[in-house]
Protein backbone atom coordinates (compact mmCIF):
# COMPACT_ATOMS: atom_id res chain seq x y z
CA UNK A 1 0.00 0.00 0.00
CA UNK A 2 1.29 3.46 -0.87
CA UNK A 3 0.02 7.02 -0.79
CA UNK A 4 0.02 8.25 -4.39
CA UNK A 5 -1.41 11.71 -3.74
CA UNK A 6 -1.65 14.06 -0.79
CA UNK A 7 -2.89 17.63 -0.36
CA UNK A 8 -4.22 19.76 2.46
CA UNK A 9 -7.69 18.33 1.81
CA UNK A 10 -7.19 14.64 1.09
CA UNK A 11 -4.86 11.74 0.39
CA UNK A 12 -5.19 8.82 -2.01
CA UNK A 13 -3.99 5.34 -1.13
CA UNK A 14 -3.15 2.69 -3.73
CA UNK A 15 -3.29 -0.99 -2.84
CA UNK A 16 -2.05 -3.23 -5.66
CA UNK A 17 -4.28 -6.28 -5.53
CA UNK A 18 -4.67 -9.21 -7.88
CA UNK A 19 -8.21 -8.47 -9.07
CA UNK A 20 -8.80 -7.68 -12.73
CA UNK A 21 -11.03 -4.77 -11.68
CA UNK A 22 -10.32 -1.69 -9.58
CA UNK A 23 -12.24 -0.77 -6.45
CA UNK A 24 -12.42 2.91 -5.47
CA UNK A 25 -13.48 3.77 -1.92
CA UNK A 26 -14.20 7.05 -0.15
CA UNK A 27 -14.10 7.45 3.62
CA UNK A 28 -17.09 8.44 5.68
CA UNK A 29 -17.65 11.19 8.24
CA UNK A 30 -16.15 9.19 11.13
CA UNK A 31 -12.99 7.78 9.56
CA UNK A 32 -10.79 10.67 8.48
CA UNK A 33 -7.40 10.31 6.78
CA UNK A 34 -4.51 9.50 9.09
CA UNK A 35 -1.71 8.74 6.63
CA UNK A 36 -1.73 5.04 7.54
CA UNK A 37 -5.05 3.37 6.79
CA UNK A 38 -7.80 3.65 4.20
CA UNK A 39 -11.53 2.97 4.15
CA UNK A 40 -12.34 -0.72 3.66
CA UNK A 41 -8.70 -1.72 4.03
CA UNK A 42 -9.26 -4.87 6.08
CA UNK A 43 -11.47 -6.73 3.61
CA UNK A 44 -9.81 -5.22 0.54
CA UNK A 45 -6.33 -6.42 1.44
CA UNK A 46 -7.57 -9.75 2.79
CA UNK A 47 -9.35 -10.39 -0.53
CA UNK A 48 -6.38 -9.03 -2.54
CA UNK A 49 -8.52 -6.49 -4.40
CA UNK A 50 -6.84 -3.68 -6.36
CA UNK A 51 -7.94 -0.41 -4.80
CA UNK A 52 -7.66 3.36 -4.85
CA UNK A 53 -9.00 4.96 -1.69
CA UNK A 54 -9.75 8.68 -1.49
CA UNK A 55 -9.44 9.76 2.14
CA UNK A 56 -10.66 13.20 3.15
CA UNK A 57 -8.66 14.88 5.91
CA UNK A 58 -11.65 16.92 7.06
CA UNK A 59 -15.43 16.50 7.08
CA UNK A 60 -15.57 18.41 3.82
CA UNK A 61 -17.60 16.19 1.46
CA UNK A 62 -14.77 15.97 -1.06
CA UNK A 63 -14.93 19.45 -2.63
CA UNK A 64 -14.40 19.55 -6.38
CA UNK A 65 -11.19 21.58 -6.43
CA UNK A 66 -9.28 19.04 -4.33
CA UNK A 67 -10.83 16.08 -6.15
CA UNK A 68 -9.85 17.39 -9.61
CA UNK A 69 -6.23 17.63 -8.51
CA UNK A 70 -6.31 14.11 -7.08
CA UNK A 71 -7.98 12.62 -10.15
CA UNK A 72 -5.22 13.96 -12.38
CA UNK A 73 -2.64 12.33 -10.14
CA UNK A 74 -4.23 8.86 -10.39
CA UNK A 75 -5.23 8.98 -14.07
CA UNK A 76 -2.57 6.43 -15.13
CA UNK A 77 -3.79 3.91 -12.55
CA UNK A 78 -7.41 4.36 -13.63
CA UNK A 79 -6.45 3.82 -17.26
CA UNK A 80 -5.32 0.26 -16.50
CA UNK A 81 -8.85 -0.97 -15.73
CA UNK A 82 -11.98 -1.45 -17.82
CA UNK A 83 -14.11 -2.33 -14.78
CA UNK A 84 -14.08 0.12 -11.88
CA UNK A 85 -16.37 -0.11 -8.86
CA UNK A 86 -16.86 2.84 -6.50
CA UNK A 87 -18.02 2.18 -2.95
CA UNK A 88 -18.71 4.44 0.01
CA UNK A 89 -20.95 5.27 2.94
CA UNK A 90 -22.70 8.56 3.83
CA UNK A 91 -20.17 11.35 3.08
CA UNK A 92 -18.16 8.84 1.06
CA UNK A 93 -21.28 7.68 -0.76
CA UNK A 94 -21.91 11.26 -1.86
CA UNK A 95 -18.45 11.26 -3.48
CA UNK A 96 -19.11 7.88 -5.10
CA UNK A 97 -22.03 9.39 -6.99
CA UNK A 98 -20.63 12.88 -7.57
CA UNK A 99 -17.38 11.74 -9.19
CA UNK A 100 -18.20 8.33 -10.70
CA UNK A 101 -18.46 9.56 -14.30
CA UNK A 102 -15.23 11.54 -14.13
CA UNK A 103 -13.38 8.60 -12.58
CA UNK A 104 -14.50 6.22 -15.32
CA UNK A 105 -16.49 4.12 -12.84
CA UNK A 106 -18.64 1.33 -14.25
CA UNK A 107 -20.53 0.38 -11.05
CA UNK A 108 -21.36 2.69 -8.13
CA UNK A 109 -22.45 1.45 -4.68
CA UNK A 110 -23.58 4.33 -2.47
CA UNK A 111 -24.81 3.54 1.04
CA UNK A 112 -26.89 6.32 2.66
CA UNK A 113 -25.54 9.14 0.46
CA UNK A 114 -26.34 12.83 0.72
CA UNK A 115 -27.75 14.75 -2.23
CA UNK A 116 -26.31 17.95 -0.78
CA UNK A 117 -25.43 19.42 2.61
CA UNK A 118 -26.30 22.96 1.53
CA UNK A 119 -28.77 24.48 4.03
CA UNK A 120 -32.36 24.40 2.84
CA UNK A 121 -31.87 21.92 0.00
CA UNK A 122 -32.88 18.80 1.93
CA UNK A 123 -35.73 19.94 4.16
CA UNK A 124 -35.67 17.05 6.63
CA UNK A 125 -31.92 16.96 7.27
CA UNK A 126 -30.01 19.33 9.53
CA UNK A 127 -27.25 16.87 10.48
CA UNK A 128 -24.44 18.18 8.30
CA UNK A 129 -25.35 21.71 7.23
CA UNK A 130 -22.75 23.24 9.58
CA UNK A 131 -20.06 21.69 7.36
CA UNK A 132 -21.27 23.47 4.23
CA UNK A 133 -18.81 26.10 2.98
CA UNK A 134 -19.97 28.24 0.04
CA UNK A 135 -16.37 28.91 -1.00
CA UNK A 136 -15.58 25.24 -1.66
CA UNK A 137 -18.93 23.55 -2.17
CA UNK A 138 -20.81 25.83 -4.56
CA UNK A 139 -23.44 23.86 -6.45
CA UNK A 140 -22.70 20.50 -4.89
CA UNK A 141 -25.98 18.76 -5.75
CA UNK A 142 -25.71 15.50 -7.68
CA UNK A 143 -27.01 15.63 -11.25
CA UNK A 144 -27.33 13.25 -14.18
CA UNK A 145 -23.95 14.20 -15.64
CA UNK A 146 -22.19 12.99 -12.51
CA UNK A 147 -23.46 9.43 -12.68
CA UNK A 148 -22.87 6.19 -14.53
CA UNK A 149 -25.75 3.88 -15.58
CA UNK A 150 -25.10 1.18 -12.97
CA UNK A 151 -25.50 3.33 -9.86
CA UNK A 152 -27.14 1.92 -6.74
CA UNK A 153 -28.31 3.89 -3.71
CA UNK A 154 -28.77 1.67 -0.64
CA UNK A 155 -30.72 3.31 2.19
CA UNK A 156 -33.36 2.88 4.88
CA UNK A 157 -36.62 4.45 3.62
CA UNK A 158 -37.92 4.65 7.19
CA UNK A 159 -35.39 7.41 7.94
CA UNK A 160 -36.97 10.64 6.75
CA UNK A 161 -33.63 12.37 6.10
CA UNK A 162 -31.93 9.53 4.22
CA UNK A 163 -35.12 8.81 2.32
CA UNK A 164 -35.36 12.43 1.13
CA UNK A 165 -31.72 12.38 0.00
CA UNK A 166 -32.32 9.15 -1.96
CA UNK A 167 -35.47 10.47 -3.61
CA UNK A 168 -33.82 13.75 -4.58
CA UNK A 169 -30.88 11.90 -6.13
CA UNK A 170 -33.26 9.68 -8.09
CA UNK A 171 -35.30 12.69 -9.27
CA UNK A 172 -32.29 14.68 -10.44
CA UNK A 173 -29.93 11.99 -11.60
CA UNK A 174 -31.63 8.65 -12.07
CA UNK A 175 -30.26 5.83 -9.93
CA UNK A 176 -31.48 2.42 -8.84
CA UNK A 177 -32.87 2.71 -5.30
CA UNK A 178 -32.28 -0.32 -3.06
CA UNK A 179 -34.26 -0.01 0.21
CA UNK A 180 -33.07 -1.88 3.29
CA UNK A 181 -35.68 -1.23 5.97
CA UNK A 182 -34.63 -0.97 9.63
CA UNK A 183 -30.96 -0.56 8.73
CA UNK A 184 -31.02 3.13 9.74
CA UNK A 185 -27.97 5.19 8.74
CA UNK A 186 -25.69 2.15 9.03
CA UNK A 187 -26.97 0.18 6.04
CA UNK A 188 -23.36 -0.46 5.06
CA UNK A 189 -22.98 -2.67 8.14
CA UNK A 190 -25.17 -5.23 6.39
CA UNK A 191 -22.10 -6.24 4.39
CA UNK A 192 -19.79 -6.29 7.41
CA UNK A 193 -17.07 -8.91 7.49
CA UNK A 194 -14.32 -9.72 5.03
CA UNK A 195 -15.99 -12.66 3.32
CA UNK A 196 -19.35 -10.99 2.78
CA UNK A 197 -17.93 -7.66 1.61
CA UNK A 198 -15.51 -9.32 -0.81
CA UNK A 199 -18.24 -11.57 -2.21
CA UNK A 200 -20.49 -8.56 -2.86
CA UNK A 201 -17.80 -6.54 -4.64
CA UNK A 202 -16.63 -9.54 -6.67
CA UNK A 203 -20.22 -10.26 -7.72
CA UNK A 204 -20.96 -6.65 -8.70
CA UNK A 205 -17.79 -6.65 -10.84
CA UNK A 206 -19.23 -9.46 -12.99
CA UNK A 207 -22.56 -7.72 -13.71
CA UNK A 208 -23.17 -5.64 -16.82
CA UNK A 209 -26.88 -4.93 -16.32
CA UNK A 210 -29.03 -3.44 -13.57
CA UNK A 211 -29.07 -5.95 -10.69
CA UNK A 212 -30.93 -3.76 -8.22
CA UNK A 213 -33.57 -6.40 -7.50
CA UNK A 214 -30.96 -9.11 -6.90
CA UNK A 215 -29.01 -6.66 -4.72
CA UNK A 216 -32.19 -5.84 -2.79
CA UNK A 217 -32.83 -9.52 -2.10
CA UNK A 218 -29.24 -10.20 -1.07
CA UNK A 219 -28.97 -7.27 1.35
CA UNK A 220 -32.38 -7.87 2.88
CA UNK A 221 -31.41 -11.46 3.64
CA UNK A 222 -28.03 -10.45 5.04
CA UNK A 223 -29.53 -7.78 7.30
CA UNK A 224 -31.27 -10.39 9.41
CA UNK A 225 -28.09 -11.30 11.27
CA UNK A 226 -27.17 -7.64 11.81
CA UNK A 227 -27.53 -6.67 15.51
CA UNK A 228 -28.51 -3.12 14.63
CA UNK A 229 -31.24 -4.26 12.24
CA UNK A 230 -32.87 -6.10 15.14
CA UNK A 231 -32.36 -3.08 17.39
CA UNK A 232 -34.10 -0.67 15.00
CA UNK A 233 -36.87 -3.20 14.37
CA UNK A 234 -37.38 -3.52 18.13
CA UNK A 235 -37.44 0.26 18.59
CA UNK A 236 -40.13 0.57 15.93
CA UNK A 237 -42.30 -2.00 17.72
CA UNK A 238 -41.81 -0.91 21.33
CA UNK A 239 -44.88 1.30 21.74
CA UNK A 240 -47.36 -1.19 20.32
CA UNK A 241 -45.67 -4.56 20.84
CA UNK A 242 -43.32 -4.31 23.80
CA UNK A 243 -43.19 -8.09 24.32
CA UNK A 244 -42.15 -8.69 20.73
CA UNK A 245 -39.58 -5.93 21.00
CA UNK A 246 -38.02 -7.46 24.09
CA UNK A 247 -37.90 -10.86 22.39
CA UNK A 248 -36.15 -9.33 19.36
CA UNK A 249 -33.59 -7.63 21.61
CA UNK A 250 -33.02 -10.91 23.44
CA UNK A 251 -32.36 -12.63 20.11
CA UNK A 252 -29.45 -10.26 19.47
CA UNK A 253 -27.50 -12.18 22.11
CA UNK A 254 -27.49 -15.28 19.90
CA UNK A 255 -26.13 -13.62 16.76
CA UNK A 256 -22.65 -14.72 15.65
CA UNK A 257 -22.02 -11.18 14.38
CA UNK A 258 -22.42 -9.67 17.86
CA UNK A 259 -19.28 -8.42 19.62
CA UNK A 260 -18.66 -6.31 22.70
CA UNK A 261 -18.33 -3.03 20.78
CA UNK A 262 -21.63 -3.56 18.96
CA UNK A 263 -23.30 -4.61 22.19
CA UNK A 264 -22.14 -1.48 23.95
CA UNK A 265 -23.37 0.69 21.08
CA UNK A 266 -26.78 -0.99 21.16
CA UNK A 267 -27.14 -0.34 24.90
CA UNK A 268 -26.22 3.31 24.38
CA UNK A 269 -28.73 3.69 21.56
CA UNK A 270 -31.46 2.17 23.70
CA UNK A 271 -30.69 4.67 26.45
CA UNK A 272 -30.62 7.55 23.96
CA UNK A 273 -34.07 6.52 22.71
CA UNK A 274 -35.53 6.58 26.23
CA UNK A 275 -35.32 2.90 27.15
CA UNK A 276 -32.67 3.02 29.87
CA UNK A 277 -34.36 0.25 31.89
CA UNK A 278 -34.22 -2.09 28.90
CA UNK A 279 -30.62 -1.02 28.22
CA UNK A 280 -29.64 -1.86 31.79
CA UNK A 281 -31.11 -5.34 31.53
CA UNK A 282 -29.42 -5.99 28.20
CA UNK A 283 -26.11 -4.64 29.53
CA UNK A 284 -26.17 -7.26 32.30
CA UNK A 285 -26.49 -9.99 29.70
CA UNK A 286 -23.73 -8.39 27.63
CA UNK A 287 -21.44 -8.37 30.68
CA UNK A 288 -22.02 -12.11 31.10
CA UNK A 289 -21.32 -12.76 27.43
CA UNK A 290 -18.29 -10.45 27.25
CA UNK A 291 -16.84 -10.55 30.81
CA UNK A 292 -13.62 -8.75 29.88
CA UNK A 293 -15.25 -5.89 27.99
CA UNK A 294 -15.32 -2.42 29.48
CA UNK A 295 -18.05 0.21 29.32
CA UNK A 296 -21.19 -1.72 30.25
CA UNK A 297 -22.59 0.35 33.10
CA UNK A 298 -25.85 -0.47 34.86
Domain-located, residue 296? no
Tell whether the model's pLDDT for residue 279 goes beyond 60: yes
Domain-located, residue 271? yes
pLDDT at 296: 65
**What average pLDDT does the chain have?**
93
Q: With bands split at pLDDT 50, 70 and 90, how would you rate the model's confidence at 139? A: confident
Tell whether the model's pLDDT for residue 287 goes beyond 70: yes
Same domain as 235, residue 180: no
The CATH number of the domain holding residue 112 is 3.40.50.1820
pLDDT in tens, 151-168: 999 999 999 999 999 999
Same domain as 237, residue 261: yes
Same domain as 186, residue 257: no
Q: Distance of CA 122 to CAs 52, 59, 126, 297, Å? A: 30, 18, 8, 38
CA–CA separation, 97 and 233 (whole Å): 29
Same domain as 50, residue 184: yes
Tell whether the model's pLDDT for residue 298 goes beyond 70: no
Domain-located, residue 294? no
Domain-located, residue 239? yes
pLDDT at 297: 62
Range of the domain at 261: 227-289
Same domain as 246, residue 209: no
pLDDT at 118: 94
pLDDT in tens, 223-255: 998 999 999 999 999 888 989 999 999 999 999
Domain end call among 172, 194, 224 = 224
Residues 38, 15: contact at Cβ < 8 Å?
yes
pLDDT in tens, 108-135: 999 999 999 999 999 999 999 999 999 8
Domain-located, residue 186? yes
Same domain as 68, residue 11: yes
Q: How many domains in the chain? A: 2
Mean pLDDT of 260-276: 90
Domain-located, residue 99? yes
pLDDT at 117: 96
Domain-located, residue 68? yes
CB contact set of 217 (below 8 Å; sequence gap of 6+):
none
Domain end call among 194, 224, 254 = 224
Domain end call among 207, 224, 241 = 224
Buried b (16+ CB within 10 A) or exposed e, 155-191: bbebbebbbbbbbbbeebbebbbbbbbbbbbbbbbbb
Mean pLDDT of 198-224: 96
Residues 148, 107: contact at Cβ < 8 Å?
yes
Same domain as 277, residue 146: no
Same domain as 74, residue 197: yes
Nearest partner of 69 among 26, 5, 125, 128, judged by Cα: 5
Same domain as 129, residue 256: no
DSSP assignment string, 74-132? THHHHTT-S-EEEEEETHHHHHHHHHHHHHT-SEEEEES--S--STTTSTT--SSGGG-
Same domain as 12, residue 153: yes
pLDDT at 87: 96
Same domain as 125, residue 44: yes
Other beta carbons within 10 Å of 290: 17
pLDDT at 294: 75
Mean pLDDT of 87-109: 97
Nearest partner of 3 among 26, 29, 31, 34, judged by Cα: 34
Domain-located, residue 298? no
Percentage of the chain beyond pLDDT 90 is 79
Percentage of the chain beyond pLDDT 70 is 99
What pTM did the predictor assign? Answer: 0.92
Same domain as 171, residue 37: yes
Residues 197, 179: contact at Cβ < 8 Å?
no
Mean pLDDT of 75-90: 97
Q: What is the dihedral of CA 105, 107, 113, 114, to 10 degrees?
A: 40
Amino acid sequence: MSIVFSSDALEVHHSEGASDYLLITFNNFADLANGKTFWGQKFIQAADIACLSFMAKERSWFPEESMVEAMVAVAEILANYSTIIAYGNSMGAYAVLKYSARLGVTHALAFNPQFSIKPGVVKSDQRFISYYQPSIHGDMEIDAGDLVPLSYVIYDPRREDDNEHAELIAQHAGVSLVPVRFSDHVSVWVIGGTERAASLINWIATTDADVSFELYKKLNVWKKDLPHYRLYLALALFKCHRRWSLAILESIMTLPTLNAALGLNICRLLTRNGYSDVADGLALKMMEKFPHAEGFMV
